[in-house]
Structure 1
Amino acid sequence: MNFSLRQLRQASLFIIPLLGVNLLNAESSPETFELDLRQAIKAALENNFAFRAAAINPEIASLSITQSESFFDTELFASGQVSQSEQDTTFEETTGTSSDNRSWEVGARKRFSYGTTVTARTNLDRRNTDAVVNFSNLSQSADLSLSIRQPLLNGFGKDVNTAGIQSAIAGYSAASESVREALFELLAETERAYWAVARLQEQLALNESSLKVAETLLKEAQERERVGVATRIDVLQAEASRAQRREEIIETRRILGDAIDQLFIYMGTFAPGMLELESSLKVSGLPEGIDTYTDFAEVWNLAKAQDPLLAQQEAVIDQREWQRRAAKNETRPNLDLVLSGAYTGLDSEDAGNAFDSALDRDGHVWIVGFEFSMPWQMRGAKATLRSAEKELEQENIRLNELQQSLFRQVRSAWRNLDSVSQSLEAAKLTVSLQEATFEREMSKYEEGISVFRDVLEVQRDLDQARIRLLDSKFNRLSSEISIARLSGLILERHELNPELILPDPR
């Protein structure tokens, strides 16, 4: 595809800031820009939509912690009431009565982790009762009081009262692990998509090279037919071979386009101009391997320690355990110890004098008591507790299932790595053999002791051997990626610091 440098630069305005890559020297290579694996990973971490959405989960979970902690925030309260009444009477000495009563209360209430509730309040009551003829009674009363309520059964203890906070913290841990899982998945799939593009670009180069060989063989067959040492069948076979190579190029380009699109999806990159940039994108060559794993026990132990799904499930189990403790608390009767004391003051006219009297401790009141209540048989609370216990048991079983599944995945990835490593060595030997066979067959054909069909068959075998070598290289890398993903070594593989990416643990 031919397009101007201006068109390329216009298209790159959309993609270059997202990829974090630099356009190569336009004077020397105006139609090509290179993307290495590190740049692709950086773009994915910054722009991938699924990862960005997953990264919000801990923020939401942290708000649940704040909401649970707010249960122990100090509560302020105030109330006021004004009432008036009048009554006509038929007594001989009075013609009627009226009353004007006013009451004000202000206070604060604080809950503590052991279930204790402390309340401090102040009250002001104003009462004015008038008998129209005989008397008038105005009084002001004030008090300063402190009361303590301490549960002795239901609601007693730090674990019970902080169960909601601990459950929210476990939920935050689960949300954080979901981000780690998304990170591992993003790194693994982005790298796999990157090497898929590399593999297909090399396959396209092989297809184009095979096309050149096919065109050379066609010209040679036509020349040999002209001088009478080849038949028309040889020329037709060469033409068919060239057509087949062209079809392979068309199909490879289609698959390569899909692979590039997939890579761009993981990188969170899309914009006008992508179609033009697709043909100019160049990635690194396909290596035979990056990491070497020699100890299955070490990989398995890392997988158990680093697997985000196991960590998420352990956090869920922690949540269920706190829910079970809260449910068990509800099976206890309510028995609260209540302590309160107050200083009181009175004055016939002035509210300020009534408060001064209370501060001078002119009067006092103290109360000690208890309150008891219990639902008959507690069937609802007991059913809730049994349900919480069954849910906890269920989550423990799921943890065992996840461990079993993880072991199977690690074993499968380990066996696959061993298998593809051997296949890679065999593929390299096969390519060397087929190259030598092709050279020998060409020499025999040029000497006139081999037919053209044999040359085409040997060339086809060589092409297939080279494709199998590419497949083996890609499969080797894919197996390495799977093991790195399962063991948590994917971060080390890409030299990433998890503290700069993952949310802070609580």
Structure 2
Amino acid sequence: MLGQKSQFDVTAELAAGQSEAEILTASAFFPGESLTVETFSGKFSLSKQFATGLQSRLSLQGDRTEGGSSDFLSDQLDPAYQANMVLDLTQPLLKDFGWNANLAGINAAQIRKKQAALSYLGRAVQLVAEIEAAYLELAKAQEEYRHYTLARDLAQELLDGNELKLDAGLIPVTEVNEARSALAGREESMLLAQQGVLLAHNSLIDLLHEPEISQSEDLQVEFPKLDNSVFPELEEALSQGLNKRPDLLQMRLETDIRQIELDYADNQLWPRLDLEGSYALNGLAGDDQGAGSVYAGDWNDALSGAFDRDGTQWYAGLRLTMPLQNRAARAAYDSSRVSKRQTLYQLQRREIATETAIRSAHATTELGAKRYEVAKRYAALAEETLEQENQRLDEGLSDTFRVLSFQNALITARIREISAKVDYYKALSTLFAAMGTNLERYEIVAALPRIGAE
């Protein structure tokens, strides 16, 4: 931004120099063959370009010339002091005319600043989606560990009961061994589930980058409460996604930049026609060589004379510059036109991809909700069936094998319920990420960085 605005900065210029010239002369009024003139000059100027394309320059110049009075035809001041204040103005009328042409770089830089903020927002959306997925994996791992612990406890309870029945001579030893074998297998499953909790915990910590959380070895998480009211209809999801996704907004801004570049390239096709104007105030002073000059004086007198408008000079005119083939400007215009078409095509492809992603995520979410409901009913029925089989065992109508089978069925049903729940939550996360609204979902406000300075 600052780099583009710098073209409108005021530029100061200071120059000083000395020159000497030996001028040959054949004047009858001067006996010598040459005339030596020595000049000391200094100049200070301020230049500025305006948004309309106007180029302005205000300069103050002073000269001290010595040796000129030796010539009869020269000034009768030696040394002579000249002071000039000049205002030069040049306004383009075709090429480089107007705000659009001269502010093109600044307008494009302002849009790129917005793009940078949207890029930051897009990374935030992606990071939140990754954290949410890792959080759900940890919640799933912890739930699975609790259910495998429950399975171990059920096997232990069954083993304790079988040992009592064995001591009473009610069942054979094979019933006890079968329970012991099931207990060992479930302890192994419990250890594997504990390992899964540790890995999921580390994955979440790696994304959070929070020292306090990183030091917590026992981070317990819970599933958020389901709220179907935040699950938008498909048309609403498509509308929000096409209007709020940071990458789409960023791409649309890119088309604005391409239009600015195309407009500028179109302006550069014109020939250059400049309206030029100049106005000068002149002052003169010097040491009188006996001729009684009214301009006798020093530097200050010459400068005062300029401000008193002792001498003025002005100029106005038009200047036309026209490249006959203009190939560079035509090539730049063609390139800008092709770039805009490519950007529009990329935007169209991105919009189609976004719509497809939202449709897929929406369908997965709907099916995930139904699957979760079925999984809950299945788990409830498995629990009810196990209770009935335990009653049959107490009545002597069942055996260890059947009870263990129903226990396994319950644990499997609970794990499937957890998986269905996590998949549903992940589908919701994917949907809101595809819409670009997962920050709004959790009422997170991204602290966008301040890029550059105004």
Aligned to 2:270: 332
Query: Does residue 456 in structure 1 map to residue 392 in structure 2?
Result: no
Query: Does residue 284 in structure 1 map to residue 232 in structure 2?
Result: no
TM-score (norm 1): 0.79
Contact preservation (8 Å) 2:382, 2:410 = yes
Aligned to 1:439: 387
Aligned to 2:143: 202
Contact preservation (8 Å) 2:390, 2:403 = yes
Distance 1:462 1:361, change over 3 A: same
Distance 1:270 1:240, change over 3 A: farther
Shift of 1:86: 6.7
Aligned to 2:292: none
Instruction: After TM superposition, list the pairs within 5 Å mapping 1:158-237 onto structure 2.
Output: 158-237=99-178
Aligned to 1:483: 431
Distance 1:285 1:177, change over 3 A: closer
Distance 1:469 1:452, change over 3 A: same
Contact preservation (8 Å) 1:94, 1:131 = no
Query: Does residue 354 in structure 1 map to residue 334 in structure 2?
Result: no
Structure-1 separation of matches of 2:172 and 2:146: 31
Shift of 1:432: 1.0
Aligned to 1:266: 207
Contact preservation (8 Å) 1:331, 1:378 = yes
2:39 to 80, 101, 113: 101
Amino acid in the other structure paired with 2:254 = V
Shift of 1:93: 4.9
Shift of 1:88: 11
Aligned to 1:364: 312
Aligned to 1:473: 421
Amino acid in the other structure paired with 1:152 = L
Instruction: After TM superposition, list the pairs within 5 Å mapping 1:33-432 onto structure 2.
Output: 65-84=1-20, 93-94=31-32, 98-129=36-67, 137-270=78-211, 274=214, 277-278=216-217, 280-285=218-223, 287-289=225-227, 291-349=229-287, 350-432=298-380
Amino acid in the other structure paired with 1:78 = L
How many residues end up aligned between the 2 structures?
Answer: 437
Shift of 1:270: 5.0
Amino acid in the other structure paired with 2:153 = K
- Identity of aligned pairs, percent? 26
Contact preservation (8 Å) 1:98, 1:129 = yes
Shift of 1:229: 4.2
Distance 1:478 1:184, change over 3 A: same
CA RMSD of aligned residues (A): 2.9
Structure-2 separation of matches of 1:103 and 1:77: 14
Deviates more, 1:421-430 or 1:132-141: 132-141
Structure-2 separation of matches of 1:483 and 1:406: 11
Shift of 1:175: 0.9
Aligned to 1:494: 442
Amino acid in the other structure paired with 1:114 = T
Shift of 1:211: 0.9
Distance 1:489 1:291, change over 3 A: farther
Structure-1 separation of matches of 2:66 and 2:172: 130
Amino acid in the other structure paired with 1:141 = Q
Contact preservation (8 Å) 2:158, 2:179 = yes
Aligned to 2:293: none
Shift of 1:288: 4.3
Amino acid in the other structure paired with 2:90 = R
Structure-1 separation of matches of 2:48 and 2:226: 66
Amino acid in the other structure paired with 1:316 = E
Shift of 1:330: 2.2
Structure-2 separation of matches of 1:144 and 1:411: 72
Contact preservation (8 Å) 2:245, 2:437 = no
Shift of 1:174: 0.9
Aligned to 1:15: none
Query: Which runs of 5 or more structure 1 residues have no equivalent in the other structure?
Result: 1-64
Amino acid in the other structure paired with 2:87 = L
Find the residue that maps to 2:323 and give its secondary structure. coil
Amino acid in the other structure paired with 1:195 = L
Structure-1 separation of matches of 2:401 and 2:320: 101
Contact preservation (8 Å) 1:96, 1:132 = no
Structure-1 separation of matches of 2:227 and 2:173: 47
TM-score (norm 2): 0.87
Amino acid in the other structure paired with 2:142 = Q
Deviates more, 1:126-135 or 1:469-478: 126-135
Structure-2 separation of matches of 1:118 and 1:358: 20
Shift of 1:449: 2.9
Amino acid in the other structure paired with 1:482 = T
Structure-2 separation of matches of 1:116 and 1:295: 55
Amino acid in the other structure paired with 2:199 = D
Structure-2 separation of matches of 1:503 and 1:269: 20
Q: Deviations over 1:326-371 (max 9, x none)?
A: 2222222222221111011111241211111111212111122333
Shift of 1:266: 2.3
Contact preservation (8 Å) 1:289, 1:477 = no
Q: Deviations over 1:165-203 (max 9, x none)?
A: 110111011111112212222333323322322222121
Distance 1:162 1:136, change over 3 A: closer
Find the residue that maps to 1:348 and give its secondary structure. strand
